[in-house]
Amino acid sequence: MMKGRDSALFLPTRRGVLGAIPAAAMVSSAVAAAPPRTTALSPEATKAIGGMVDGFVAQNRADGLSVAVVMNGATRFFNAGVTSQTTLTAATEHHVYEIGSVSKTFTALILASAIKEGRVALNDPVRKFLPPGFDNLAKDGRAVTFADIVTTTSALPDNVPDYLAVAPGAPPKQLIFAAAQFLDAFPYAGFLPELAKVTLLDKPGVAPRHSNAASVLLGVLLERIYGRPYADLLSRYVEKPLGLGAGTGEGRASLQVAGYGADATPRPRFNQPVMLAAAGLHYSAADMANYLTAQIDSRTPAIALSQQPLFAVSDADSIAFHWTVGRKADSKTYLRHSGGTFGCSTYCDFHPDQRFGIVLLANRVTRDTQEDLKKMAEAIHLTLFGAPAGLARLHRLLEASDYSDVTVTVALVKRQNPELFLKEDDLNDWAYRLLKAQRVKAAVGLAGYNAAIRPESWNAHDTYGEMLAANGDKARAIAEYQRSIELNPANSSGKVMLAKLQSQ
């Protein structure tokens, strides 16, 4: 089954990337106040990145886009488009965008500081810091802990109260404005009474799932632990020491970008007090460059703690303090996060081993915007660093053999490049690219290898079944779909394909 990509397994060579980029670029290299140095990008790389940024706006995928590329402690900025359809002000690295769920990493960093100060322990039950009446924050003998919150395994619902249910049956555009009005009127003090009514969705510490409510709760808990408002804690532990402007309040209202939806119509702000700790912060590309620089340097003990993996999701990904810690094709790690509000989208990642980080801020929200920003970040990383040696060698050998024996080829490459790691989703996407190019036998070979090395993955078997069906191998395709459904009875699309094959 085709899924949203988590990271690129193989992109074209740098020559191929450059060839696909528009020649014109709207590039700004103005420097943030701190750090004071710009990166020494080559003219070729500067043109390539500028072209990607300019092309994103030219293709009407955002009204404005601001990108910060951090390398070796210095930053280069790229901007395109406008901050508002009304004022037509050119976007700069100083304009402020809503960063959505990336806000959760800021709140989690405050928690890391509290842990380092001995105020709280990671495995403390959160009820320890709440008034009586929160017996509901436990299930099957397991109470929600601070670790559960920052690893997204709290089992709390996504939103408390559920602001997306305030206008049932309303068209999406109307629902967004109704939700914004509801949040504008909802009192911050009303969160805990609403939280006391919820039922956990699962046993805590078991399954990752998105929850704004968990991070709102963390903000409340930190206020109770310190006896200070969240905005003060944010300023003390993150903004002032790392050189960021204020991410709350209206002090930079004149620099705030306007947000837009998929149809390029205006969207409401997402800055309500109850949502600050979860998704309500706003920063500029210059702010975020400073944030990533500190993350790359692990500048404080709290930052270092916040990057430690706490919950394994797969052989490729784990979760730290809200950061997803990913394993690259060279087996080294990088950390990433994305976020979206009613009208803005954000993606950022950083690679400590390469002292590289990137943030992309757009004032447009569609179903694909965050993923599109992620793909651009991957392309920029490839432009600057190239593909890992083992991955590039594997690609060359597989192309030369037309994927005739993927298992043997991978083993051959790993003898010279033992660090080579092939992520499930990346192999899956690679197979789909081959299928799209009508190289069906090659797609079968790659998908078959993925299913063989991951026999318990329902999605690997589903994809293999699809490739076999495309190659006319009905019997084996049926067997693969049956195995996929056995592993995941909820695989509805697999059931449809299986029934179709069996009826032929």
The number of distinct structural domains making up the chain is: 2
Residue with tokens 């084996």: 476
Residue with tokens 């903004």: 239
pLDDT in tens, 404-444: 999 999 999 999 999 999 999 999 999 999 999 999 999 99
Q: What type of residue sits at position 477?
A: A
The verdict on residue 458 lying in a domain is yes
330 and 428 assigned to the same domain? no
CATH of the domain at 159: 3.40.710.10
pLDDT in tens, 304-337: 999 999 999 999 999 999 999 999 999 999 999 9
- Round to whole Å and give the CA distance between 262 and 176: 12
Tokens linked to 343? 């009208």
Please tell me whether residue 312 adopts helix, strand or coil conformation. strand
The verdict on residue 461 lying in a domain is yes
149 and 294 assigned to the same domain? yes
329 and 464 assigned to the same domain? no
Residue with tokens 């304009």: 95
306 and 167 assigned to the same domain? yes
Helices (H), 9-127: 14-19, 43-58, 103-116
Residue 350, beta-bridge partner list: 335, 357
185 and 249 assigned to the same domain? yes
The verdict on residue 71 lying in a domain is no
| Phi then psi dihedrals of residue 302, to 5 deg | -65, -40
The verdict on residue 140 lying in a domain is yes
CATH of the domain at 470: 1.25.40.10
Instruction: Give the model's pLDDT for residue 18.
Output: 30
Instruction: Give the model's pLDDT for residue 26.
Output: 28
337 and 440 assigned to the same domain? no
Per DSSP, the residues of 258-272 read: PPB-TTS-B------
Please tell me whether residue 503 adopts helix, strand or coil conformation. helix
The verdict on residue 416 lying in a domain is no
Instruction: Give the model's pLDDT for residue 166.
Output: 87
219 and 343 assigned to the same domain? yes
Q: What is the pLDDT along the chain (504 residues), one digit of tens a residue?
A: 765 433 333 222 222 333 333 323 322 322 233 433 555 788 999 999 999 999 999 999 999 999 999 999 999 999 999 999 999 999 999 999 999 999 999 999 999 999 999 999 999 999 999 999 999 999 999 999 999 999 999 999 999 999 888 888 888 889 999 999 999 999 999 999 999 999 999 999 999 999 999 999 999 999 999 999 999 999 999 999 999 999 999 999 999 999 999 999 999 999 999 999 999 999 999 999 999 999 999 989 999 999 999 999 999 999 999 999 999 999 999 999 999 999 999 999 999 999 999 999 999 999 999 999 999 999 999 999 999 999 999 999 999 999 999 999 999 999 999 999 999 999 999 999 999 999 999 999 999 999 999 999 999 999 999 999 999 999 999 999 999 999 999 999 999 999 999 998
Instruction: Give the model's pLDDT for residue 35.
Output: 39
The verdict on residue 349 lying in a domain is yes
- Round to whole Å and give the CA distance between 68 and 71: 10
Global pTM reads: 0.89
The verdict on residue 499 lying in a domain is yes
The verdict on residue 189 lying in a domain is yes
**DSSP code, position 367:** T
In which domain, by residue range, is 198 found?
98-385
110 and 257 assigned to the same domain? yes
Whether 302 and 361 have beta carbons less than 8 Å apart is answered as no
217 and 268 assigned to the same domain? yes
Instruction: Give the model's pLDDT for residue 272.
Output: 94
293 and 371 assigned to the same domain? yes
378 and 437 assigned to the same domain? no
363 and 447 assigned to the same domain? no
